[in-house]
Amino acid sequence: MPMDNVYTGANGTLTLATENTPEGQDAKVAWAAYSKTPDVGRVTGVEIRVQTVLREYYQIGQRFPVSLNPENIAISGEIDRAYMNGALLFLLLGRGAGPTAVKEPYVQPSFTLKLQLNDPAVPANKAAIELKGVKFMTWGMDVPEDDFVMENVQFKALGISVIDSEKPPKFPKG
């Protein structure tokens, strides 16, 4: 059945998974200290961006490009969270976020982030985006006088995959 319903943030879950690398093992330790589940919980404002640099090629005497050449791909985004327990800061700084100084060098934690949207009308329909090799880039905290305390992290990722219940396109081999 085609996925033609619209979603709200209430239809989604955001989970973290560790990778089998030294960076992934540090992420596993940091997350396990604060949570028994891989769900990030209480998030809002999740943004994922994929930017492909396209370079135009112009021939002499032509005003319009004759080709667009794809170049570097950058995957980034941000997450807001109405919670504060240090887990996201440990996922950014790793061993360096502890109260005692740790001698450098040490790795920055890396993990897989999965955003899944469930269709409430058709529970079998699920759409998911999986980001691999995610590292947090910035962390911030907002303590307003009359609103919720919010954490914010920005991240970059090495790869992105679409995982949904619909059949993916089959591209010709080449």
Question: 87 is written with which tokens?
Answer: 């887990």
pTM summary value: 0.82
Return the SS3 of 61. coil
Distance between CA atoms of 32 and 151, rounded to whole angstroms? Answer: 19
Side chain identity, residue 144: P
Best mean pLDDT range from 14-18, 72-76, 98-102: 72-76
Sequence spans of domains, the chain: 11-164
Q: Are 154 and 121 in contact (CB under 8 A)?
A: no
pLDDT exceeds cutoff 60 at 1: no
pLDDT exceeds cutoff 90 at 168: no
Question: 42 is written with which tokens?
Answer: 């209480």
pLDDT exceeds cutoff 80 at 92: yes
- Residue 44 has a pLDDT of 82
Give the model confidence (pLDDT) of 100-125 as tens digits: 878 888 889 999 999 888 877 777 77
Spell out the CATH class of 11-164: mainly beta
% of the chain surpassing 70 pLDDT: 93
- Residue 99 has a pLDDT of 82
Burial environment of residue 113 by CB neighbours within 10 A (0 to 12, 13 to 18, 19 or more)? buried
Indicate the pLDDT class of residue 32, thresholds 50, 70 and 90.
Answer: confident
Sign of CA dihedral 168, 170, 173, 174: negative
Q: Are 15 and 116 in contact (CB under 8 A)?
A: yes
% of the chain surpassing 90 pLDDT: 36
- What's the first-to-final CA gap in the chain, in angstroms? 30
Indicate the pLDDT class of residue 50, thresholds 50, 70 and 90.
Answer: very high
